[in-house]
A = this chain, B = another copy of it.
Amino acid sequence: MKIYEDRMAPNPRRVRIFMAEKGIPIEYVQVQIAKGEHKLPEHIQKNPLGLVPVLEMDDGTYLSESVAICRYFEEQKPEPSLFGTNAKERAFIEMWQRRMEIELLFYMAGCFRNTHVFFKGRIPQVAEYGEVCRKAAEKRLEWLDKELEGREFIAGDKYSIADITALVAVDFGRISNIRITPEQKNLQRWHQTVAARPSAKA
């Protein structure tokens, strides 16, 4: 098996952190978005949407979508569990993973895609919408700081895939100058904890 990815993009980082936490070694093949390699027929044949990461399975099938790839490996190697160990825990981790994705990562991405020079000419940019995303992301950070009062990780007292998505989202915000503020002590503390794990450098 191997994973096609771009080390510069946020979604592949989610999978690399996940694999590092699981202790699963795998081959990574770079598909450079900056060079347009994700739009070449060779990659489109793996994922018609031209996105990374893509997992190539041993039988030659291709699995896209970061969370689908993570979930697949969660089943192949259940320990340490990153999606939860019983139905209720799994449901709440899913809720938090989705919140971190939809309410944080997607706004970070919306700001970056619509305001950064990297995407100029690549996609139809709407700067005004990028600023809407920036404000929404900042509001969500405020909210998340309150949620983290008295709780170590995003979904409760255990590190989970929700922390991975949140870490990638927060770090990805920097390129758009969206940052945890000095007043957001809970968020600061959480970020220090998760960023200090060896997996954060994967």
Name which of A24-32, A65-73, A183-191, A192-200 contacts chain B.
A65-73
Residue numbers in B under 8 Å from A49 (CB-CB): 99, 103, 143
6 contacts across the A-B interface (CB closer than 8 A): A48-B143, A68-B95, A76-B87, A114-B129, A124-B132, A124-B135
Which residues of chain A (111-152) have a CB below 8 Å from chain B?
114, 124, 126, 128-129, 132, 135, 143, 147
Residue numbers in B under 8 Å from A64 (CB-CB): 95, 99
Which residues of chain A (48-91) have a CB below 8 Å from chain B?
48-49, 57, 63-65, 67-69, 71-72, 75-76, 87-88, 90-91
Distance from A127 Cβ to chain B, minimum over Cβ atoms (Å)? 9
Partner of A95, one of B63, B90, B114, B132: B63
Residue numbers in B under 8 Å from A99 (CB-CB): 49, 64-65
Residue numbers in B under 8 Å from A94 (CB-CB): 65, 67-68, 71
Known: A126-B129, A128-B129. A91 touches B68 (CB 8 A): yes
Instruction: Judge whether A48 and B95 touch: CB under 8 Å.
Output: no
Known: A124-B132, A126-B126, A126-B128. A71 touches B48 (CB 8 A): no
Residue numbers in B under 8 Å from A128 (CB-CB): 126, 128-129
